[in-house]
Amino acid sequence: MYVDDELQTRMVRWRHHFHQFPETGFNEHRTADYVAGVLELLGPEVYRGIGGTGLVASLRAGDGPGVIGLRADMDALAMTETAQDRPHASRNAGCMHGCGHDGHMAMVLGAAQLLAQQPDFNGTVRFIFQPAEEHGRGAAAMIEDGLFGRFPVDEIYGAHNIPGMPVGHIATRVGGIMASEDNFVIRIHGRGGHAARPHMAADSLVIAAEIILALQTIVARSVDPGEPAVVSCTEIFSDGIRNAIPSNVTIKGDTRSYSPEVQALLERRMRELCHGICSAHGAQCEVEYTREFAPTVNWPQCVPVAAAAAVAVVGQDKVDADVRPMMISEDFGAFLKVVPGAFVFIGNGAAGSPGGVPLHNGTYDFNDSVLPIGARYFVELVRQRLPSQASTSDA
């Protein structure tokens, strides 16, 4: 289906509006209002307040029983945009669309308009706009609020832009495509003292340094080399000052993996190392370990559908149906634990080109030239999974 100049302009306008007025997870009130307003003008029935600020719009054509879900995420990041010279820069201080959810919404809205204007499919399409993806809470909130009971789907599909991948390229794979994310907080309690008399203290900072290094041995020496896993310490705080050894140090970070067995191994070894090292130094610790994101595992029967839709839009030579999995995480994995579906990556721009700035960077921006590609991809999914009687008879 062709995206004309009018729709291209409209999608860019939608995207820039979202970018200018970003909202963090479960606070997407203005965003949800705007999305609902666009959808209501297009004709689908819109249902709001699902899982907090989430919404669903249903569009039906013909009498087919099939139902397909198309998902977009709505939330932004609590970070400052550092490219203030762009006309559509964030107007909400300390908040920006640094992951491209503004573009994801615009692509699905573009697909909604194309399907509403030319409903050449037979069945029902659910346009699902999810809150709070960034912290892995929105999908579960929608599911717990009866998403798939009230709005059942046979399959669900989603996409994420990827800087570093050329525009016009789409990639997916069967099985795990994105990792789980677990968060940890390690609180070390030693004995503070004068910096000149370390023998009278149990130095929590030195203990923390030893723990940080020891945690890197978990993947290197405890995890099967054939299993992907990452342990990252990302923050450290203490109650010390220039001339005082701290009593308390806190380490924060996350782990990434693909299987429940590896998740359990990472947590067990972390607890063993932390308690063992602290005990050896006469200190104590607490380890808080929480599971935030499920791995995103594509269903085998849905990946060929996603790949075929991608080929129809961008051509065989620009589709990778067996891309290497990434260690980033996506809340879409929670949906795939409940219903069949598949997730794809859409190129946002090669490194050094427009759209090549990494995700979660203060100068990142979604590449507007990707919008028609994404909209057409979602439309093609619907056409393939819910073929109209006319297209079936033609075949």
To the question of whether residue 99 is assigned a binding role by annotation, the answer is: yes
101 is in an annotated binding site: yes
| Residue 360 marked as a ligand binder | yes
User: Residue 331 catalytic?
Assistant: no
Phi, psi of 184 (to 5 degrees): -135, 150
The first and second tokens of residue 137, run together, are 């809470």
133 is catalytic: yes
Q: Could you identify the residue written with the tokens 């892995």?
A: 136
160 in a labelled binding site = yes
| Cβ atoms of 112 and 122 closer than 8 Å | no
Q: How far from 233 is each of 186, 215, 290, 392, CA to CA, in Å? A: 10, 9, 15, 55
- From the list 23, 28, 73, 75, the catalytic residue is 75
- Tell me which of 133, 155, 182, 380 is the catalytic residue: 133
Residue ranges at the known binding site: 99, 101, 134, 160, 360
The residues assigned a catalytic role are 75, 133
Binding positions for Mn(2+) are: 99, 101, 134, 160, 360
